[in-house]
Amino acid sequence: MSNTPLAERLRPQSLDEYIGQSHLVGTDGVIRRFVESGNIPSFILWGPPGVGKTTLAKLVALALGRQMFTLSAIASGVKEVREVIEAAKKSRFFNSGAPILFIDEIHRFNKAQQDSLLGAVEQGVFTLIGATTENPSFEVITPLLSRCQVYVLKAMNEEELGELLQRAITTDSVLKERGVKVTETHALFEFSGGDARKLLNILDIMASATEGEIVIDDHRVTDCLQQNIALYDKGGEQHYDIISAFIKSIRGSDPDAAIYYLARMLAGGEDVKFIARRLVISASEDVGLANPNALLLANACFDAVHKLGMPEARIPLAEATVYLATSPKSNSAYMAINEALATVNRDTTNRPVPLHLRNAPTKLMGELGYGKGYKYAHDYEGHWVEQEFMPAGLEGRKFYKPQHKREHDAMAWKEVLKNK
The dihedral sign for the CA sequence 235, 239, 241, 243: negative
The arrangement of secondary structure in 158-227, i.e. its CATH architecture, is Orthogonal Bundle (1.10)
Alpha carbon distance 262, 232 (integer Å): 12
Q: Which amino acid is at 37?
A: S
Residues of the chain with CATH 3.40.50.300: 21-152
- Which one has a higher pLDDT value, 261 or 113? 261
Give the model's pLDDT for residue 135: 82
Instruction: State yes or no: pLDDT of 203 exceeds 80.
Output: yes
How large is the C-alpha radius of gyration of the chain? 28
User: Which one-letter DSSP state was computed for residue 45?
Assistant: E
Instruction: State yes or no: pLDDT of 78 exceeds 90.
Output: no
Alpha carbon distance 145, 132 (integer Å): 13
Q: Is 21-152 a CATH 3.40.50.300 domain?
A: yes
Alpha carbon distance 74, 104 (integer Å): 8
Alpha carbon distance 194, 5 (integer Å): 19
Residues of the chain with CATH 1.10.8.60: 158-227
Tell me the average pLDDT of the chain: 85
Q: What angle do CA 137, 58, 235 make, to 5 degrees?
A: 70
Residues of the chain with CATH 1.20.272.10: 237-326
Q: Is 237-326 a CATH 1.10.630.10 domain?
A: no
Res. 167 pLDDT band, cuts 50 70 90? very high
* DSSP strand pairing (43-46 vs 127-132): parallel
**Percentage of the residues of the chain whose pLDDT score is greater than 90:** 30
Give the model's pLDDT for residue 93: 64
Residues contacting residue 53 through CB under 8 Å, at least 6 positions apart: 45, 47, 104, 131, 153
Q: What share of the chain is helix, strand, coil (3-state, %, to 5)?
A: 55, 5, 35
Q: What angle do CA 74, 75, 81 make, to 5 degrees?
A: 105
Instruction: State yes or no: pLDDT of 300 exceeds 90.
Output: yes
CA-closest candidate to residue 216, choices 169, 263, 285: 169
Judge if pTM exceeds 0.85. Answer: no
CA-closest candidate to residue 328, choices 373, 369, 283: 283
Res. 230 pLDDT band, cuts 50 70 90? very low
Give the model's pLDDT for residue 129: 93
Residues contacting residue 355 through CB under 8 Å, at least 6 positions apart: 368, 369, 370, 371, 372, 373
Residue 46's H or E segment, with its range, is strand 43-46
Q: How many CB atoms lie within 10 A of CB 177?
A: 8
